[in-house]
Amino acid sequence: MNLQLKIWRQQNAGSKGKMVDYSISGVESDMSFLEMLDVLNESLINKGEEPIAFDHDCREGICGSCSLMINGEPHGPDRLITACQLHMRKFKDGDTIVIEPFRAKAFPVIKDLIIDRTAFDRIHQAGGYISVNTSGNTVDANAIPIDKHKADEAMDAATCIGCGACVAACKNASAMLFTSAKVAQFALLPQGRVEATERVQNMVRQMDLEGFGNCTNTGACEVECPKGISLENIARMNREYLMATSKG
């Protein structure tokens, strides 16, 4: 395939970025989207030009670092996959592909397609843990019976990889889907109930401090989430927050 690429280039956080046009040929349909960018970067390096900076680590849908806006969609046109799992067979010869970083005030661009998602780390740090004594007193997992549905829902919430697609998809740049998944994975389990009140208040406070917008129930986040995190988690977080704040 021969493709036309329009890619966001930005030298650093302080500089003004712009879209730059590139042509690429010989793209195989079995290549992943990131492999296609690798090929482009090799050709740029061979020409003495600066390669395009983009984030990646696992390249198998686990780490959440490959945050790319592809033709206006976080992680591109496929569903329930990350940009690194997207394959070029989704495109056809002669296509133009627009590639940008995720856009949100709380996710400033570091360089080209790489954004700073440490705001998510700080939300996680505000409550994404349980305080347990692990110094030789660990209780066998089966000692606390847990309802199967609750365990499944907690596990589903825990599959959030912190990629930020929910924020990028939302017209308000809301981080409610991410934060609610992090709240839910603890709130649904007995071990997480001990600190549930402080957890939801601290995580929501941090989310607001970071400058994310509010949820207006458009559901774009759920549609674009590569892990299928359900909007039900947002409703659960709102209930948790209401209960926590009414306790005073």
Applying CB under 6 A, the residues found at the interface with ligand FES are 56-59, 61-66, 82, 84
Across 214-227, b (16+ Cβ under 10 Å) vs e yields ebeeeebbbebbbb
Q: Is 188 in the site for ligand SF4 (CB under 6 A)?
A: no
CA distance 48 to 174: 40
Cβ distance 4 to 95 under 8 Å?
yes
Stretch that binds ligand SF4, among 18-26, 129-137, 162-170, 234-242 (CB under 6 A): 162-170
Least Cβ distance, residue 138 to ligand SF4 (angstroms): 29
Residue listed under structure tokens 């360089």: 111
Indicate the DSSP class of residue 39. Answer: H
Residue 63 interacting partner from ligand SF4, ligand FES, none (CB closer than 5 to 8 Å by kind): ligand FES
- Chosen from ligand SF4, ligand FES, none, partner binding at 57 (C-beta under 5 to 8 Å by type): ligand FES
How many C-beta neighbours within 10 Å does residue 71 have? 15
Measured from the CB atom, the residue of 89 and 92 that comes closer to ligand FES is: 89
Partner from ligand FES, ligand SF4, none binding residue 56, C-beta < 5-8 Å depending on class: ligand FES
Question: Which residues does 46 contact at the CB level (< 8 Å), separation at least 6?
Answer: none
Q: Binding string to ligand SF4 for residues 163 to 182, with x set by CB under 6 A, is what?
A: xxxx----------xx--x-
How far apart, in whole angstroms, are the C-alpha atoms of residue 130 and residue 47? 52
**Judged by CB under 6 A, does residue 229 bind ligand SF4?**
yes
Which residues partner with 99 through β-bridges?
7, 70
Q: Which partner from the list ligand SF4, ligand FES, none does 65 bind, CB cut-off 5 to 8 Å by kind?
A: ligand FES
Burial of 180 per CB tally in 10 Å (0-12, 13-18, 19+): buried
CB under 5 to 8 A by kind: which of ligand FES, ligand SF4, none does 237 bind?
Answer: none
User: Residues in the site for ligand SF4, rule: CB under 6 A?
Assistant: 160-166, 177-178, 181, 225-227, 229
